[in-house]
C-alpha cells in the first residue's frame, strides 16, 4: 500500500483515522485511515464510502450515525460518526488486554473456589464438639489450604518466581486431593476408588494438586450421581520419564470429535447438571503442558464411561525414587474405597 501524505489536510497528524464524506462519496482521508483500511489515497478519493470501507458494518456507523466496533482485516476497529465523516480507531490492543484480564480473573476465581470452600467446610466442622486430636487435624488441613490460597494469589504478581518443582510422592498428592474434593463427592453421592502407587514425580505440588482436583471434580460434577470414580497411575510405556495419572468416570461416552473442544477455554460438557465455568479442563491442559506433559481422553468400550489422563515427569529423568510396585489395570488391582 502506498500512503501519500497530504500536507494541506490538518488531520494528517491525528492519532485517529478520519474519513470526510460528501453526498456518500469520500472527499479526503488522513494517513491513519489509509493505514487502517489498507487503501491508496488516489484510488479512494471520489469513490462511494462503501468502496473504501469494504465493510457494511463500518458503513452503518455513518449511515445510522452510531458508534460500532468491527473485527475486520485482523483488527478490531471502532468507527464513530463525526460531522461529514467517520472517525476510526484501532482498539485491538485494548480489547485484547481486557479479554486477557477477564480470562485471568475467570481462572483465578475458579482456582480460588476449591481452597476457600475447603476452609469454610473445616471451620463449620470446628464449630462441632469434636475431640482435640481431630480438631488439630482439621486445623492442619485449614492451614495447608490457606497456604495454598496464598501461593495461588502470589502467582498473579509480576515478580519472577523461582520454580517450585520438587520430589512428590504421587500417592500423597492423590490422598490430599481426595480429602479436598470430599464435599463435592458427597454432594453428588459419588465414591472414589483410589489405586495407590509409590511413584515419585517431579512437579509443583500446587499445580499437580490443581490438575488432579479438577479432573476428579469434573468427573463428579458431570458424571452420574451415585456412581464411582477410579483414579490410578502407572509409568508411561511410550515415555518412561513420565508417569500417567488416569481418572475414569462411568458417565455417558463422550463423542471423540469433541475431545479437543472440551479442553478449550469456557468449554461446556454435555451434562445436564451444573456446568460451572468451563475452565477446569482448560486449566488441566495448561498446567500439564507447562511441565512438558500431555492430556487426553479415552472412551471406555466395556461398561461405558470416559477416562481422562495426564502425564507428569518422574524424578531423575525417568526413574522414580525408591522401589516401585507394579501397577495393574483397575480390574485387577486391590482398590481402596475412600
pLDDT 10s digits, 270-285: 554 544 445 678 888 8
- 159 DSSP assignment: S
pTM: 0.54
Please tell me which residue, 211 or 338, carries the higher pLDDT value: 211
- Has residue 289 got a pLDDT over 60? yes
- Has residue 4 got a pLDDT over 60? no
The whole-angstrom separation of Cα 310 and Cα 298 is 11
* Averaged pLDDT, 113-129: 80
pLDDT 10s digits, 136-173: 888 887 887 787 777 666 655 444 455 578 899 999 99
At residue 124 the predicted structure's pLDDT band, cuts being 50, 70 and 90, is confident
- The confidence score (pLDDT) of residue 7 equals 44
Domains of the chain with bracketed CATH: 10-90 (3.30.450.20), 92-162 (1.10.287.130), 165-337 (3.30.565.10)
Confirm if 233 and 244 have CB atoms less than 8 A apart.
yes
* Averaged pLDDT, 208-222: 89
- The confidence score (pLDDT) of residue 112 equals 75
Q: What share of the chain is helix, strand, coil (3-state, %, to 5)?
A: 45, 20, 35
* Averaged pLDDT, 121-128: 82
Confirm if 314 and 320 have CB atoms less than 8 A apart.
yes
- Number of Cβ within a 10 Å radius of residue 25: 15
pLDDT 10s digits, 36-81: 888 888 888 999 999 999 988 999 889 999 998 888 878 888 999 9
Cell of 8: 494541506
Q: Position of cell 522414580?
A: 320
pLDDT 10s digits, 129-138: 888 888 888 8
Task: Please name the residues in contact with 11: beta carbons below 8 A apart, sequence gap of 6 or more.
Answer: 18, 30
Amino acid at each position: 500500500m502506498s500512503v501519500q501524505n497530504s500536507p494541506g489536510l490538518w488531520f494528517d497528524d491525528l492519532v485517529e483515522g478520519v474519513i470526510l464524506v460528501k453526498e456518500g462519496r469520500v472527499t479526503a482521508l488522513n494517513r491513519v485511515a489509509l493505514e487502517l483500511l489498507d487503501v491508496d489515497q488516489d484510488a479512494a478519493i471520489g469513490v462511494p464510502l462503501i468502496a473504501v470501507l469494504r465493510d457494511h458494518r463500518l458503513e452503518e456507523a455513518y449511515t445510522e450515525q452510531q458508534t460500532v466496533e468491527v473485527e475486520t482485516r485482523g483488527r478490531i476497529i471502532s468507527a464513530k460518526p463525526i460531522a461529514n465523516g467517520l472517525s476510526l480507531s484501532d482498539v485491538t490492543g485494548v480489547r485484547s488486554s481486557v479479554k486477557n484480564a477477564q480470562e485471568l480473573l475467570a481462572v483465578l476465581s475458579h482456582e480460588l473456589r476449591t481452597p476457600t470452600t475447603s476452609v469454610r467446610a473445616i471451620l463449620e466442622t470446628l464449630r462441632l464438639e469434636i475431640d482435640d486430636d481431630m480438631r488439630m487435624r482439621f486445623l492442619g488441613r485449614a492451614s495447608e489450604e490457606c497456604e495454598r490460597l496464598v501461593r495461588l494469589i502470589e502467582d498473579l504478581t509480576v515478580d519472577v518466581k523461582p520454580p517450585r518443582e520438587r520430589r512428590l510422592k504421587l500417592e500423597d498428592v492423590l490422598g490430599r486431593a481426595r480429602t479436598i474434593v470430599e464435599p463435592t463427592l458427597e454432594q453428588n453421592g459419588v465414591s472414589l476408588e483410589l489405586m495407590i502407587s509409590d511413584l515419585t514425580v517431579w512437579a509443583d505440588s500446587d499445580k499437580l494438586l490443581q490438575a488432579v482436583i479438577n479432573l476428579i471434580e469434573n468427573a463428579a460434577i458431570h458424571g452420574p450421581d451415585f456412581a464411582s470414580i477410579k483414579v490410578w497411575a502407572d509409568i508411561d510405556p511410550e515415555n518412561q520419564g513420565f508417569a500417567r495419572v488416569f481418572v475414569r468416570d462411568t458417565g455417558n461416552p463422550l463423542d471423540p470429535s469433541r475431545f479437543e473442544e472440551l479442553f478449550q477455554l469456557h468449554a461446556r460438557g454435555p451434562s445436564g447438571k451444573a456446568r460451572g465455568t468451563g475452565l477446569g479442563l482448560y486449566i488441566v491442559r495448561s498446567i500439564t503442558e507447562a511441565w512438558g506433559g500431555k492430556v487426553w481422553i479415552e472412551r471406555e468400550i466395556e461398561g461405558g464411561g470416559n477416562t481422562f489422563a495426564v502425564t507428569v515427569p518422574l524424578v531423575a529423568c525417568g526413574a522414580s525414587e525408591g522401589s516401585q510396585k507394579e501397577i495393574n489395570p483397575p480390574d485387577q488391582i486391590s482398590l481402596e474405597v475412600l
